[in-house]
Amino acid sequence: MGMKENSVSTRIKNVSIIISLYNEEENIQKLFEELYLVEQSLSDVVTFEYICVNDGSSDHTLSLLMQEMKHHPNIKIFNFYRNFGHEIAMTAGMDQSGGDAVIFMDGDLQHPPRLIKEMVYAWLDGYKVVLTQKITKDTEKSFTYKLLSSAYYYVLNRLSDFEIPKDSPDFRLLDREEVEVLKKIDEHDRMFRGMLNFIGYKNYKIIPFEVPKRFAGESKYNYRKSFRLAMDSIMQFSTKPLKVATYLGVISIVLATILGVDTLIEYLFYNHKRTGYATTMIVILFMSSIQFIILGIIGAYIGKIHIEVKKRPLYFGELIEAEKLKEHDA
Protein backbone atom coordinates (compact mmCIF):
# COMPACT_ATOMS: atom_id res chain seq x y z
CA MET A 1 0.00 0.00 0.00
CA GLY A 2 1.73 3.17 -1.16
CA MET A 3 1.27 6.84 -0.51
CA LYS A 4 2.10 9.73 -2.78
CA GLU A 5 5.16 11.59 -1.55
CA ASN A 6 3.52 14.99 -1.95
CA SER A 7 0.42 14.00 0.06
CA VAL A 8 2.09 14.53 3.46
CA SER A 9 2.38 18.13 4.52
CA THR A 10 4.92 19.56 6.98
CA ARG A 11 2.28 19.46 9.68
CA ILE A 12 1.22 16.01 10.80
CA LYS A 13 -2.52 15.85 10.37
CA ASN A 14 -4.95 14.72 13.04
CA VAL A 15 -7.75 12.21 12.62
CA SER A 16 -10.77 12.04 14.92
CA ILE A 17 -12.19 8.55 15.41
CA ILE A 18 -15.79 8.67 16.62
CA ILE A 19 -16.96 5.50 18.33
CA SER A 20 -20.59 4.98 19.27
CA LEU A 21 -20.96 2.69 22.29
CA TYR A 22 -24.03 1.24 23.95
CA ASN A 23 -23.51 -1.57 26.49
CA GLU A 24 -20.22 -2.67 24.94
CA GLU A 25 -18.26 -3.40 28.12
CA GLU A 26 -17.06 -6.77 26.79
CA ASN A 27 -15.61 -5.24 23.62
CA ILE A 28 -13.82 -2.13 24.89
CA GLN A 29 -10.48 -3.66 25.86
CA LYS A 30 -10.14 -5.63 22.63
CA LEU A 31 -11.29 -2.64 20.57
CA PHE A 32 -8.64 -0.31 21.94
CA GLU A 33 -5.94 -2.94 21.69
CA GLU A 34 -6.53 -3.05 17.96
CA LEU A 35 -6.91 0.73 17.66
CA TYR A 36 -3.60 1.34 19.41
CA LEU A 37 -1.82 -1.04 17.05
CA VAL A 38 -3.16 0.99 14.12
CA GLU A 39 -2.20 4.24 15.84
CA GLN A 40 1.39 3.04 16.35
CA SER A 41 1.70 1.96 12.71
CA LEU A 42 0.63 5.45 11.56
CA SER A 43 2.49 7.49 14.19
CA ASP A 44 4.83 9.01 11.58
CA VAL A 45 1.93 10.05 9.35
CA VAL A 46 -1.03 11.17 11.50
CA THR A 47 -2.08 11.60 15.09
CA PHE A 48 -5.37 10.35 16.52
CA GLU A 49 -8.01 11.51 18.92
CA TYR A 50 -10.69 9.08 20.05
CA ILE A 51 -14.14 10.48 20.76
CA CYS A 52 -16.13 7.78 22.51
CA VAL A 53 -19.84 8.53 22.81
CA ASN A 54 -21.42 6.53 25.60
CA ASP A 55 -25.04 6.30 24.47
CA GLY A 56 -26.63 5.89 27.90
CA SER A 57 -25.10 2.47 28.61
CA SER A 58 -26.45 0.61 31.63
CA ASP A 59 -23.39 -1.61 32.08
CA HIS A 60 -19.74 -0.72 32.89
CA THR A 61 -18.99 0.86 29.51
CA LEU A 62 -18.37 4.33 30.98
CA SER A 63 -16.06 3.17 33.78
CA LEU A 64 -14.00 1.05 31.37
CA LEU A 65 -13.66 4.00 29.01
CA MET A 66 -12.44 6.13 31.88
CA GLN A 67 -9.85 3.46 32.72
CA GLU A 68 -8.59 3.56 29.13
CA MET A 69 -8.43 7.35 29.31
CA LYS A 70 -6.05 7.23 32.27
CA HIS A 71 -3.44 5.53 30.07
CA HIS A 72 -4.27 7.33 26.82
CA PRO A 73 -5.00 11.07 27.16
CA ASN A 74 -6.02 11.33 23.50
CA ILE A 75 -9.36 9.75 24.44
CA LYS A 76 -12.39 11.97 25.00
CA ILE A 77 -15.68 10.68 26.34
CA PHE A 78 -19.01 12.28 25.65
CA ASN A 79 -21.42 10.74 28.13
CA PHE A 80 -25.12 10.93 27.25
CA TYR A 81 -27.53 11.35 30.14
CA ARG A 82 -29.77 8.76 28.51
CA ASN A 83 -29.94 6.65 25.36
CA PHE A 84 -30.43 8.93 22.35
CA GLY A 85 -29.66 6.40 19.61
CA HIS A 86 -26.83 5.59 17.24
CA GLU A 87 -27.44 8.42 14.75
CA ILE A 88 -27.46 11.09 17.49
CA ALA A 89 -24.35 9.55 19.07
CA MET A 90 -22.46 9.98 15.81
CA THR A 91 -23.72 13.57 15.60
CA ALA A 92 -22.45 14.35 19.11
CA GLY A 93 -19.06 12.86 18.26
CA MET A 94 -18.90 14.90 15.08
CA ASP A 95 -19.72 18.07 17.04
CA GLN A 96 -16.84 17.38 19.45
CA SER A 97 -14.32 16.39 16.77
CA GLY A 98 -11.42 18.64 15.83
CA GLY A 99 -9.47 16.46 13.42
CA ASP A 100 -8.59 17.19 9.81
CA ALA A 101 -10.60 14.06 9.01
CA VAL A 102 -13.25 12.12 10.90
CA ILE A 103 -13.78 8.36 10.97
CA PHE A 104 -17.13 6.98 12.15
CA MET A 105 -17.23 3.43 13.52
CA ASP A 106 -19.13 1.17 15.91
CA GLY A 107 -17.62 -0.31 19.03
CA ASP A 108 -18.61 -3.94 18.44
CA LEU A 109 -15.52 -4.78 16.31
CA GLN A 110 -17.68 -5.52 13.27
CA HIS A 111 -16.09 -2.42 11.81
CA PRO A 112 -12.51 -3.79 11.70
CA PRO A 113 -9.98 -1.25 13.10
CA ARG A 114 -7.33 -2.63 10.71
CA LEU A 115 -9.16 -0.89 7.83
CA ILE A 116 -8.41 2.50 9.36
CA LYS A 117 -4.86 2.34 8.03
CA GLU A 118 -6.06 1.90 4.46
CA MET A 119 -8.68 4.60 4.93
CA VAL A 120 -6.12 7.10 6.20
CA TYR A 121 -3.72 6.43 3.33
CA ALA A 122 -6.56 6.88 0.83
CA TRP A 123 -7.41 10.21 2.46
CA LEU A 124 -3.78 11.35 2.38
CA ASP A 125 -3.69 10.41 -1.29
CA GLY A 126 -6.39 13.00 -1.91
CA TYR A 127 -9.77 11.30 -1.43
CA LYS A 128 -12.24 13.46 0.50
CA VAL A 129 -14.62 10.59 1.28
CA VAL A 130 -13.59 6.99 2.00
CA LEU A 131 -16.49 4.55 2.22
CA THR A 132 -16.56 0.88 3.15
CA GLN A 133 -18.68 -1.84 1.59
CA LYS A 134 -19.67 -5.20 3.00
CA ILE A 135 -18.79 -8.08 0.68
CA THR A 136 -20.09 -10.84 2.95
CA LYS A 137 -23.48 -11.36 4.53
CA ASP A 138 -23.93 -10.92 8.25
CA THR A 139 -24.27 -14.50 9.47
CA GLU A 140 -25.64 -13.35 12.84
CA LYS A 141 -28.83 -11.95 11.29
CA SER A 142 -31.84 -14.17 10.72
CA PHE A 143 -33.31 -14.85 7.28
CA THR A 144 -36.38 -12.79 8.19
CA TYR A 145 -34.24 -9.81 9.21
CA LYS A 146 -32.25 -9.97 5.97
CA LEU A 147 -35.44 -10.23 3.92
CA LEU A 148 -36.98 -7.22 5.65
CA SER A 149 -33.73 -5.29 5.26
CA SER A 150 -33.69 -5.94 1.51
CA ALA A 151 -37.34 -4.90 1.26
CA TYR A 152 -36.62 -1.71 3.23
CA TYR A 153 -33.78 -0.60 0.95
CA TYR A 154 -35.86 -1.43 -2.11
CA VAL A 155 -38.76 0.72 -0.91
CA LEU A 156 -36.45 3.50 0.33
CA ASN A 157 -34.60 3.77 -2.98
CA ARG A 158 -37.85 3.65 -4.93
CA LEU A 159 -39.24 6.56 -2.92
CA SER A 160 -36.06 8.59 -2.44
CA ASP A 161 -34.69 11.05 -4.97
CA PHE A 162 -31.21 9.52 -4.64
CA GLU A 163 -29.91 6.02 -4.07
CA ILE A 164 -28.72 4.83 -0.66
CA PRO A 165 -26.47 1.76 -1.06
CA LYS A 166 -27.58 -1.29 0.89
CA ASP A 167 -24.19 -2.68 1.92
CA SER A 168 -22.49 0.62 2.78
CA PRO A 169 -22.32 0.94 6.59
CA ASP A 170 -21.58 4.06 8.65
CA PHE A 171 -17.93 2.98 8.89
CA ARG A 172 -16.38 5.74 6.79
CA LEU A 173 -13.87 8.59 6.68
CA LEU A 174 -14.83 12.16 5.85
CA ASP A 175 -12.50 15.07 5.24
CA ARG A 176 -13.04 18.12 7.44
CA GLU A 177 -14.62 19.98 4.50
CA GLU A 178 -17.29 17.27 4.17
CA VAL A 179 -17.83 17.22 7.94
CA GLU A 180 -18.49 20.96 8.06
CA VAL A 181 -21.07 20.63 5.28
CA LEU A 182 -22.71 17.72 7.09
CA LYS A 183 -22.93 19.74 10.32
CA LYS A 184 -25.05 22.34 8.53
CA ILE A 185 -27.93 19.86 8.24
CA ASP A 186 -30.09 20.80 11.20
CA GLU A 187 -32.55 17.93 11.54
CA HIS A 188 -33.80 16.03 14.56
CA ASP A 189 -34.39 12.72 12.79
CA ARG A 190 -31.29 11.78 10.85
CA MET A 191 -29.75 8.93 8.93
CA PHE A 192 -26.06 9.48 8.25
CA ARG A 193 -25.93 7.26 5.19
CA GLY A 194 -28.74 9.20 3.59
CA MET A 195 -27.44 12.61 4.66
CA LEU A 196 -24.11 12.06 2.92
CA ASN A 197 -25.84 10.93 -0.26
CA PHE A 198 -28.14 13.95 -0.03
CA ILE A 199 -25.10 16.27 0.00
CA GLY A 200 -23.45 14.37 -2.83
CA TYR A 201 -19.79 13.51 -3.25
CA LYS A 202 -17.51 12.81 -6.20
CA ASN A 203 -13.96 12.43 -4.90
CA TYR A 204 -14.36 9.16 -3.04
CA LYS A 205 -12.98 5.66 -2.67
CA ILE A 206 -14.74 2.45 -1.60
CA ILE A 207 -12.92 -0.16 0.48
CA PRO A 208 -14.59 -3.61 0.53
CA PHE A 209 -14.35 -5.73 3.68
CA GLU A 210 -15.64 -8.95 5.16
CA VAL A 211 -17.85 -8.50 8.20
CA PRO A 212 -16.29 -10.28 11.19
CA LYS A 213 -18.36 -11.83 13.94
CA ARG A 214 -18.99 -9.78 17.03
CA PHE A 215 -16.18 -10.25 19.54
CA ALA A 216 -18.71 -10.29 22.39
CA GLY A 217 -22.24 -9.22 23.20
CA GLU A 218 -25.30 -9.01 21.00
CA SER A 219 -26.62 -6.62 18.39
CA LYS A 220 -28.52 -3.69 19.89
CA TYR A 221 -30.85 -3.36 16.89
CA ASN A 222 -34.05 -5.34 17.37
CA TYR A 223 -37.04 -5.44 15.03
CA ARG A 224 -38.75 -2.51 16.75
CA LYS A 225 -35.73 -0.19 16.51
CA SER A 226 -35.03 -1.27 12.95
CA PHE A 227 -38.64 -0.63 11.93
CA ARG A 228 -38.58 2.82 13.54
CA LEU A 229 -35.33 3.71 11.75
CA ALA A 230 -36.81 2.47 8.47
CA MET A 231 -39.94 4.61 8.80
CA ASP A 232 -37.96 7.67 9.91
CA SER A 233 -35.50 7.42 7.03
CA ILE A 234 -38.25 6.94 4.41
CA MET A 235 -40.11 10.03 5.59
CA GLN A 236 -36.87 11.99 6.04
CA PHE A 237 -35.78 11.67 2.43
CA SER A 238 -39.09 11.50 0.60
CA THR A 239 -42.49 13.17 0.46
CA LYS A 240 -43.81 10.63 -2.00
CA PRO A 241 -45.86 8.75 0.66
CA LEU A 242 -48.02 11.88 0.87
CA LYS A 243 -48.98 11.29 -2.75
CA VAL A 244 -50.44 7.94 -1.80
CA ALA A 245 -53.76 9.70 -1.15
CA THR A 246 -54.05 10.63 -4.81
CA TYR A 247 -53.10 7.17 -6.02
CA LEU A 248 -55.46 5.41 -3.63
CA GLY A 249 -58.23 7.83 -4.56
CA VAL A 250 -57.81 7.01 -8.25
CA ILE A 251 -57.71 3.27 -7.51
CA SER A 252 -60.86 3.46 -5.37
CA ILE A 253 -62.71 5.40 -8.10
CA VAL A 254 -61.74 2.80 -10.71
CA LEU A 255 -62.81 -0.09 -8.47
CA ALA A 256 -66.07 1.62 -7.55
CA THR A 257 -66.78 2.28 -11.23
CA ILE A 258 -66.09 -1.35 -12.16
CA LEU A 259 -68.30 -2.56 -9.31
CA GLY A 260 -71.11 -0.17 -10.33
CA VAL A 261 -70.95 -1.20 -14.00
CA ASP A 262 -70.90 -4.89 -13.06
CA THR A 263 -73.93 -4.46 -10.81
CA LEU A 264 -75.84 -2.59 -13.53
CA ILE A 265 -75.06 -5.23 -16.17
CA GLU A 266 -76.10 -8.04 -13.83
CA TYR A 267 -79.41 -6.28 -13.17
CA LEU A 268 -80.30 -5.19 -16.73
CA PHE A 269 -79.15 -8.20 -18.76
CA TYR A 270 -79.18 -11.14 -16.35
CA ASN A 271 -81.97 -10.05 -13.98
CA HIS A 272 -79.73 -10.74 -10.96
CA LYS A 273 -81.15 -8.63 -8.19
CA ARG A 274 -78.82 -7.91 -5.27
CA THR A 275 -79.79 -6.77 -1.81
CA GLY A 276 -76.77 -4.48 -1.75
CA TYR A 277 -75.76 -5.27 1.84
CA ALA A 278 -72.50 -7.08 1.03
CA THR A 279 -71.54 -4.56 -1.65
CA THR A 280 -72.24 -1.65 0.67
CA MET A 281 -70.18 -3.16 3.51
CA ILE A 282 -67.23 -3.94 1.22
CA VAL A 283 -67.21 -0.40 -0.17
CA ILE A 284 -67.47 1.15 3.31
CA LEU A 285 -64.66 -1.01 4.72
CA PHE A 286 -62.46 -0.41 1.68
CA MET A 287 -62.89 3.36 1.76
CA SER A 288 -62.48 3.51 5.53
CA SER A 289 -59.21 1.58 5.30
CA ILE A 290 -57.89 3.97 2.67
CA GLN A 291 -58.84 6.96 4.81
CA PHE A 292 -57.08 5.54 7.87
CA ILE A 293 -53.94 4.83 5.84
CA ILE A 294 -53.93 8.37 4.48
CA LEU A 295 -54.53 9.87 7.93
CA GLY A 296 -51.72 7.75 9.37
CA ILE A 297 -49.25 8.93 6.73
CA ILE A 298 -50.24 12.58 7.11
CA GLY A 299 -50.14 12.25 10.91
CA ALA A 300 -46.61 10.86 10.80
CA TYR A 301 -45.38 13.81 8.75
CA ILE A 302 -47.20 16.30 10.98
CA GLY A 303 -45.62 14.64 14.01
CA LYS A 304 -42.16 15.14 12.54
CA ILE A 305 -42.94 18.78 11.79
CA HIS A 306 -44.10 19.16 15.41
CA ILE A 307 -40.78 17.83 16.71
CA GLU A 308 -38.65 19.86 14.29
CA VAL A 309 -40.28 23.23 15.01
CA LYS A 310 -39.63 22.84 18.75
CA LYS A 311 -35.88 23.12 18.02
CA ARG A 312 -34.98 21.08 21.07
CA PRO A 313 -31.31 20.09 21.50
CA LEU A 314 -30.50 16.77 19.85
CA TYR A 315 -28.83 15.41 22.97
CA PHE A 316 -27.81 16.14 26.56
CA GLY A 317 -24.55 14.98 28.08
CA GLU A 318 -21.14 15.93 29.40
CA LEU A 319 -17.67 15.88 27.90
CA ILE A 320 -15.08 14.00 29.96
CA GLU A 321 -11.44 14.70 29.13
CA ALA A 322 -8.20 13.36 30.60
CA GLU A 323 -7.36 16.64 32.38
CA LYS A 324 -10.76 16.81 34.06
CA LEU A 325 -10.44 13.19 35.11
CA LYS A 326 -7.07 13.84 36.74
CA GLU A 327 -8.51 16.83 38.63
CA HIS A 328 -11.41 14.68 39.79
CA ASP A 329 -9.12 11.88 41.01
CA ALA A 330 -6.90 14.39 42.79
**Residue-wise pLDDT tens digits, 286-330:** 777 777 777 777 777 787 777 777 777 888 999 998 766 665 555
Per 3-state DSSP, the chain is made up of helix, strand and coil in percentages (nearest 5) of 50, 15, 35
Q: Is the pLDDT of residue 220 over 60?
A: no
Cα–Cα distance measured from residue 67 to residue 69, given in angstroms and rounded to the nearest whole number: 5
Give the domain ranges of the chain: 5-223+314-329, 240-310
CB 162 within 8 A of CB 238: no
Q: Which of 243, 207, 246 is nearest to 112 (CA)?
A: 207
**Under CATH, to which class is 5-223+314-329 assigned?**
alpha beta
pLDDT of residue 211: 84
Provide the 10 A C-beta neighbour count for residue 237.
20
Predicted TM-score of the model (pTM):
0.73
- At 5, the pLDDT band (50, 70, 90 cuts) reads very low
Condensed to tens digits (0 to 9), the pLDDT of residues 12-61 reads 899 999 999 999 999 999 999 999 999 999 999 999 999 999 999 999 99
pLDDT tens-place string over residues 119-154 = 999 999 999 999 998 886 655 566 666 676 677 666
Residue 206 has pLDDT above 60, yes or no: yes
Burial label, 44 (beta-carbon count in 10 A; 0-12, 13-18, 19+): exposed
- The angle formed by the CA atoms of residues 170, 178 and 121, to the nearest 5 degrees, is 70
